[in-house]
Amino acid sequence: MTAARICAALALALLLSVLGNVGQGLLYLRQRDAATLARSDADHAGDTASLARASADVCTKAVDALSDVNKGLQAERDQARRQAAAAARGHSARADKILATPAAVPGDACASAQARVAELLASRKPAGGQ
């Protein structure tokens, strides 16, 4: 073999080696980029999950606070209903008494009404004659 053929064979081998190394380098860079992107996606998914958990915790606390407020409002409502029922019983008893009371002036509804209004106003005056 001549020296030129050996040089050509070595040059071809060197060229193939360089091309192989370039190919492997490109493949490595693609895999590295894919791995970096996958890590970034995983980190983003973790951040999204953390944000979702934090949002759920805030929502749960808000619902608990609303539940506490609701319990207080229910107690106020029940108290107001009891007071309204007591007032209604008083008004009903008073109406029954008015309806059961005979006319102050028999045969004159207007005079009877005036007498009842005068009696009502007299009962509302505070003690001391003011």
The string of pLDDT tens digits covering residues 5-21 is 999 999 999 999 999 99
CB 105 within 8 Å of CB 115: yes
Specify the amino acid at residue 14. Answer: L
Regions of the chain short of the pLDDT cut 70? 1, 127-130
**Separation in Å, CA 120 to CA 27, 34, 105, 112, 113:** 103, 92, 16, 12, 10
d(CA 41, CA 39) in angstroms, rounded, equals 5
**Separation in Å, CA 63 to CA 18, 52, 53, 73, 118:** 66, 16, 15, 15, 56
pTM across the whole model = 0.44
For the chain, the first-to-last Cα distance in angstroms comes to 141
Q: Which pLDDT does position 128 carry in this prediction?
A: 55
